[in-house]
Amino acid sequence: MLIVRTRDPVGRLRVEGLEIVDAEGTPVSLRGANLGAWLFVETWMNLFDYPLHGRVVTEGERAGIRDAVVTAVRATRRPTSGETADAYLTRLESALPSGADPEAFSEVRAETLGCARVDDDSDAPLRAALEARFGVAGRDQFLDAYQDAWITEADVIALHERGANLVRVPTGYRSYLEGSDGDPITLPLRLREATFARLDRLLDWCEAHGVRAILDLQESIGGHNDYSGPARLYEDPAAQEATIALWRAIADRYRDRDSVAAYSLLAEPFGAPTVEAMIDMYDRLHDAIRADGDDHILIIHDGFMGVSSLPVASEIGWTNVVYSTHLFEWGSDSLRDYEGLTMLWRASFNAARERQGVPFFVGSFSTLSDAPWAWEAFDLVTQFFSDQGYSWSVWAWKRLDDPLDEELFGDGATGWGVYRSPATGTLRHLDLCHDELSTLIAGVADLRTSGLVPNPSFDSAFTAATTR
């Protein structure tokens, strides 16, 4: 397949009117993918441990009643929103087939409730479970091995070969800090060199293969969204100062790296109590980074409050900024739905962009489903982005389909990741409740992209979009 590659990077990017341009003033359209679950480990993406229904099946196998538990899980489906583990187990128990051993299920219940639940959009439960079992050193040993396997130079090469010129890199504050996550966070921050070294290597790969990187803070100290509980950033002065200090440390490290396309300051800051509180925090971060002499593009997310809620950049004194939102249209399940959405987006996004005087970036989006209509919608949406001059990065480069969900419900396949399944055999979940540390570390080697195959529909649609 002939790939038409995007223009190789030339110098530092900057904002010029409604466009992003390179050092020669040539407009640049950034198109690529999110390196999700790498430096901010969202466990729903990589088969780390199990969702609750999967944990019950696993404990059923250990207790010798797997078939009975599978029958009950299929009958009751997944836990409902907000349902406690205990309530779900009670529902399962009532759905067990006659003849199932009640004592064995009591064992399943006890083991399930005794295992920490780590399936989450945040890395906090995972890190806490690892630290509880293996200590800080063991936690970091496992995460280092995993992060070295999940994204390698081969991933950057593969993206470039598909015509992409961008990786967006979600990170969480915990990855940047040394010590226990339970330790008080004080200034000066205790920064973890291993994480910065890993980012250094990524940028080296980017420079070698014609790709740029957006460094994104997915979860800040104190929390700017509800990934790990209520957002405290906007009301906690200490958390604000620590988050500013973290961004100053990141900017100090990468001030001179032209392969950094931009800093995404606060991803999805929907925990802000008001638009004004969100803008005030952005303002402080902007001023701190600029005061230190860093002129990288800064990406400002609308917190799902509407792009039009963001200010005119020049009026507030912001320089070299790009505005952004993320698009996950839950409930849209047809091409016609997306045809209607693009009409709405065209009107609202372009009106806001003209008024605000800055370029627009869709930092994360997906049509969610692995169905023919969804890939038609993906093509429609990315063509719309191209026509409007928006840069974009899809969610996500890798998301492993769950073989257990396929067995239980027939719906393990999704449209979440370009790479999704092993080239041969079946990937096993890493059991963080029972596996020894050595077993867990050995298991992450199977997660390298070299051992996986892409979703052919996603791969084709993505490549068509990046080379358009």
Q: Exposure pattern of 229-265 as b/e (b: 16+ CB <10 Å)?
A: eebbbbeeeebbbbbbbbbbbbbebbeebbbbbbbbb
Residues 125 and 96 in one domain: no
Contact 147, 198 (CB under 8 A): yes
Residues 56 and 43 in one domain: no
Does residue 7 lie in a domain region? no
Phi-psi region of 163 (alpha: psi -120 to 50; beta: other; left: phi over 0): left
Residues 100 and 147 in one domain: no
Residues of the domain holding 204: 14-48+119-466
Residues 352 and 301 in one domain: yes
Residues 132 and 248 in one domain: yes
φ/ψ of 415, rounded to 5, equals -100, 30
Residues 63 and 27 in one domain: no
Q: Is the pLDDT of residue 251 over 50?
A: yes
The CATH number of the domain where 442 resides is what? 3.20.20.80
Residues 91 and 180 in one domain: no
Q: Is the pLDDT of residue 412 over 80?
A: no
Percentage of the chain beyond pLDDT 90 is 93
Q: Which residues pair with 364 in a beta bridge?
A: 326
Say what the pLDDT of residue 6 is. 55
Residues 108 and 238 in one domain: no
Tell me the DSSP string of 415-446. Answer: SS-SEEEESSS-PPPB-TTTS-HHHHHHHGGG
pTM of the entire predicted model:
0.95
Does residue 9 lie in a domain region? no
> pLDDT by residue (tens digit) across 274-310?
999 999 999 999 999 999 999 999 999 999 999 999 9
Measure the CA–CA gap between 384 and 382, rounded to whole angstroms: 5
Mean pLDDT of 382-411: 95
Does residue 6 lie in a domain region? no
Residues 23 and 100 in one domain: no
Q: Is the pLDDT of residue 1 over 50?
A: no
- For tokens 């799902």, the residue is 304
Contact 163, 31 (CB under 8 A): yes
Does residue 5 lie in a domain region? no
Does residue 8 lie in a domain region? no
Q: Is the pLDDT of residue 215 over 60?
A: yes
Nearest to 223 by CA among 251, 242, 204, 209: 242
> pLDDT by residue (tens digit) across 140-196?
999 999 999 999 999 999 999 999 999 999 999 999 999 999 999 999 999 999 999
Residues 195 and 289 in one domain: yes
Measure the CA–CA gap between 30 and 21, rounded to whole angstroms: 10
Does residue 2 lie in a domain region? no
Mean pLDDT of 257-270: 97
- How does the average pLDDT of the chain come out, rounded? 95
Final residue of a structural domain among 86, 114, 142: 114
Say what the pLDDT of residue 25 is. 96
* DSSP element (H, E) containing 361: strand 360-366
Residues 93 and 144 in one domain: no
Does residue 289 lie in a domain region? yes
- Rounded to the nearest 5 percent, the helix, strand and coil shares of the chain are 45, 15, 40
How many independent structural domains does the chain possess?
2
> pLDDT by residue (tens digit) across 21-51?
999 999 999 999 999 999 999 999 999 999 9
Mean pLDDT of 305-329: 96
Final residue of a structural domain among 74, 92, 114: 114
Does residue 153 lie in a domain region? yes
Nearest to 285 by CA among 233, 327, 324: 233
The band of 411, judged by pLDDT with boundaries at 50, 70 and 90, is confident
> pLDDT by residue (tens digit) across 422-466?
998 888 999 999 999 999 999 999 999 999 999 999 999 999 999
Q: Is the pLDDT of residue 131 over 90?
A: yes
Final residue of a structural domain among 70, 96, 114: 114
Residues 185 and 101 in one domain: no
